[in-house]
Chains A and B, each alone.
Chain A
Amino acid sequence: MKLIDALYKDAPLATRNEITPKLGFLLTVVLALAWLIPFLWMGVATLRPSSDGINLMAELMPSLKPTLDNVRDAWEIGDFPRYVLNTTIICTGILLVQFVTITLAGFAFARLDFAGKTPIFYLFLMQLMLVPVLLIVPNLSLVVQLGLYDTLAGVMMPFFASAFGTFLMRQAFEAIPTELEDAALIDGASLIQRIRHIYVPLSLPSFSAFAIISVTSHWNDFLWPLMVINSPDKRPLTVGLSVFTKTAEGTQAWGTIAAGTLMVIAPLLITFLIFQKRFISSFVTSGIK
């Protein structure tokens, strides 16, 4: 209790001795530890030698003879380098095209006056209300018609335009003083030059916030790539992991599953732990993606 008192020493004097907030805090600590158990098991099971047998598999105490055999097995059974490559191509491809589309559209909404601005704005807004995941059936038939079935381009294409990104960039561009642009205009800079040299460099925090949301959500996409991709060598990480899990489950290779899962989530977890603050503030802006 002393420890918790120390945490509350900057609380207002009147509430410093209240017991309820401290009980709530204790409960949260217990739950936060419980929230970590799946990750803890993943780490412990990855390092557990198969000689420990199935009955020790659930033990959260690390084995005294840690081994990397499971990591090696997972690496050999699953085609993880290929999956990582595919997911990287998908996320990068989507993000690069999105950067272009949201910058141009965001600028039009922020700084230009044009006929039909309000109706077009609502057209964009509609994309936020229509959950793209629900449109998998019509979008799959379109991708087939376009000849993009079983290609990474087919996985990327529905996400090339982003209403969320457009609104984010519109907000960022509106905050930039018009005097800067006027100065460039007097110097004879064209529209594209003004966007490229004034608006984009001054909005980098918004671009990075958008990049975080875009990459994490497409890194985690499962249902859409599952429908579009057929060939094993074009599978992204999530689809690859689900197939890998099915195979390893058949042989009860739980340590291998843990190692495979670890490999899939490690890049995101490491990036998060480094850029924690930026991740959290980006996710707050992401309410509806």
Chain B
Amino acid sequence: MSLAEPAALPVATSAAPRLNVLKRFTSRFKASLPAYLLLLPSLIFLALFTYGAMSRVLIDALYQRATPKAPLRFVGLDNISAVLTDPAFTGAVVNNLIYALGTAIPSIGLALLFALALARTNAVTSALRAALFLPVLIPMVAASALFLFIFLPNVGLLDHYIGRLLPVLPNWLGDPDVALTAIMIITIWKNAGYYMLFFLAGLQAVPEDVMEAAHLDGAGPFMRLRYIILPELKPTFLFVTVIATLNAVTQVDHVFVLTQGGPSNATNLVLFYIYQQAVEHFDVGKASAATLLTLAALMALTALSFRTMAKREGGP
């Protein structure tokens, strides 16, 4: 025990037992007071913008206005069912699932490749790591501004160089069948370098002597990857998957700048739908109901992944 944490001395007393309990409680509170004062600034802002926001979502999701000027009235679960039957919302959920899978898998795969290739440190690998990391730093809006020209039909960068090889030039951001893929390419470009960092850190935990033993036993590169490196990287995989999933829900700035959810809702994602309901349709009830559903799904997913992680760590 350090001198800095003086223990609360039990106060000698001969009063009635009930008073004794009260006294002990107050002395415990008094001893804790400095800590509470230190936590207070953080707790105020957390209360306002995290817990308070959570409860406001819960409440707002239960109320609705008949017309924009009408008074609020209690509608129970009507907002939730209105959202669930809104084809724009279900479409956004489907798009978001495709977007999550289509960005997480390629960017994690590429990140693993990059980390394996650049695991050893020298001037060349440092430069390559920096090149792959650059997109992580820039705002998604800036990335969108660059890809706006890259995807520009006919004269854009992609059509100028690659498009010549194709018989028909796709309208990258204007064709409902292609637009979501174009949006996904931007996300992969931006995130692969970020996930690479975690795999680089994870690779340092692969024991050198086990790798050497595998060399001696004649295990080839793929055998070593399959039986030594990948099992060792399991926690990293899980961690990166959680981050990639969160990013798939929250990282939608490029949809705002490039497609506004279009063409014909092909790139509408859940967060953009929430924004549309709240800001464009002034429907706070529906926006809150959609927020609530998304939060519930995300929290379930996070809890599930952490439980799997705990099981794996503690299991036989």
- Contact residues of A with B, CB < 8 Å? 7, 10-12, 14-15, 18, 20-21, 24-25, 27-29, 31-33, 35-39, 41-42, 45, 54-55, 57-60, 100-102, 104-105, 107-108, 111-117, 120, 123-124, 126-127, 129-142, 157-158, 160-163, 166, 178, 181-182, 185-186, 191, 194, 216, 219-220, 222-223, 226-227, 237-239, 241-242, 245, 249, 254, 257-258, 260-261, 264-265, 268-269, 272-273, 276, 279-280, 283-284, 287-288
Asked whether, in the complex, the Cβ of B271 is within 8 Å of the Cβ of A134, the reply is: yes
One of B15-23, B77-85, B95-103, B216-224 contacting the partner: B216-224
Q: Which A residues touch B275, using CB under 8 A?
A: 136, 223, 227
One of B64-72, B146-154, B175-183, B308-316 contacting the partner: B146-154
Bound-complex Cα distance A18 to B221 (A): 8
User: Is B136 at the interface (CB under 8 A from chain A)?
Assistant: yes
Bound-complex Cα distance A264 to B287 (A): 32
Task: Please name the residue on chain B nearest to A123 by beta carbon.
Answer: B46
Asked whether, in the complex, the Cβ of A280 is within 8 Å of the Cβ of B157, the reply is: no
Q: Which A residues touch B143, using CB under 8 A?
A: 38
Asked whether, in the complex, the Cβ of B39 is within 8 Å of the Cβ of A108, the reply is: yes
Q: Known contacts A124-B42, A137-B288; decide if A272 and B145 are in contact (CB<8 Å).
A: no
Bound-complex Cα distance A238 to B122 (A): 35
Q: Which A residues touch B271, using CB under 8 A?
A: 133-134, 223
Task: Please name the residue on chain A nearest to B290 by beta carbon.
Answer: A137
Asked whether, in the complex, the Cβ of A111 is within 8 Å of the Cβ of B113, the reply is: no
Asked whether, in the complex, the Cβ of B257 is within 8 Å of the Cβ of A245, the reply is: yes
Q: Which A residues touch B126, using CB under 8 A?
A: 276
Task: Please name the residue on chain B nearest to A143 by beta carbon.
Answer: B49
Bound-complex Cα distance A130 to B122 (A): 39
Bound-complex Cα distance A275 to B315 (A): 41
Q: Known contacts A28-B114, A268-B137, A269-B137; decide if A182 and B3 are in contact (CB<8 Å).
A: yes
Asked whether, in the complex, the Cβ of B220 is within 8 Å of the Cβ of A20, the reply is: yes
Chain B interface residue count, Cβ-Cβ cutoff 8 angstroms: 107
Can you give 18 contacting A-B residue pairs, CB < 8 Å?
Answer: A12-B215, A24-B116, A28-B113, A58-B149, A58-B157, A59-B160, A104-B41, A107-B38, A113-B31, A135-B57, A161-B46, A163-B46, A181-B3, A220-B138, A241-B145, A258-B149, A280-B197, A288-B246
Bound-complex Cα distance A41 to B271 (A): 31
Interface centre among B116, B131, B139 (most CB of A within 10 A): B139
Q: Which B residues touch A161, using CB under 8 A?
A: 41-46, 49-50
Q: Which B residues touch A160, using CB under 8 A?
A: 41, 45
Bound-complex Cα distance A121 to B198 (A): 26
Within the complex, what minimum Cβ distance (angstroms) separates B191 from chain A? 12
Within the complex, what minimum Cβ distance (angstroms) separates B63 from chain A? 12
Asked whether, in the complex, the Cβ of A32 is within 8 Å of the Cβ of B131, the reply is: yes
Interface residues of B in 136-188 (CB under 8 A from A): 136-150, 152, 155-157, 159-161
| Given A29-B128, A142-B49, A287-B198; 4 other pairs, CB 8 A cutoff | A38-B150, A131-B298, A249-B148, A260-B145
Bound-complex Cα distance A287 to B241 (A): 11
Task: Please name the residue on chain B nearest to A27 by beta carbon.
Answer: B113
Within the complex, what minimum Cβ distance (angstroms) separates A276 from chain B? 6
User: Is B234 at the interface (CB under 8 A from chain A)?
Assistant: no
Asked whether, in the complex, the Cβ of A36 is within 8 Å of the Cβ of B246, the reply is: no
Interface centre among B4, B54, B128 (most CB of A within 10 A): B4
Bound-complex Cα distance A222 to B138 (A): 12
Bound-complex Cα distance A186 to B6 (A): 13
User: Is B105 at the interface (CB under 8 A from chain A)?
Assistant: no
Q: Which B residues touch A27, using CB under 8 A?
A: 113, 117
Bound-complex Cα distance A238 to B275 (A): 17
Asked whether, in the complex, the Cβ of B249 is within 8 Å of the Cβ of A35, the reply is: no
Q: Which A residues touch B9, using CB under 8 A?
A: none
Bound-complex Cα distance A117 to B140 (A): 38
Contact of A238 (CB < 8 Å), options: B44, B114, B141, B201: B141
Bound-complex Cα distance A16 to B197 (A): 25
Asked whether, in the complex, the Cβ of A269 is within 8 Å of the Cβ of B295, the reply is: no
Bound-complex Cα distance A258 to B143 (A): 11
Asked whether, in the complex, the Cβ of A181 is within 8 Å of the Cβ of B2, the reply is: yes
Within the complex, what minimum Cβ distance (angstroms) separates A133 from chain B? 4
Q: Which A residues touch B159, using CB under 8 A?
A: 58
Bound-complex Cα distance A223 to B253 (A): 7
Within the complex, what minimum Cβ distance (angstroms) separates B107 from chain A? 12
What does the 1/0 interface line of B22-57 toward A look like (CB < 8 Å)? 000000110110111011011111101111111011
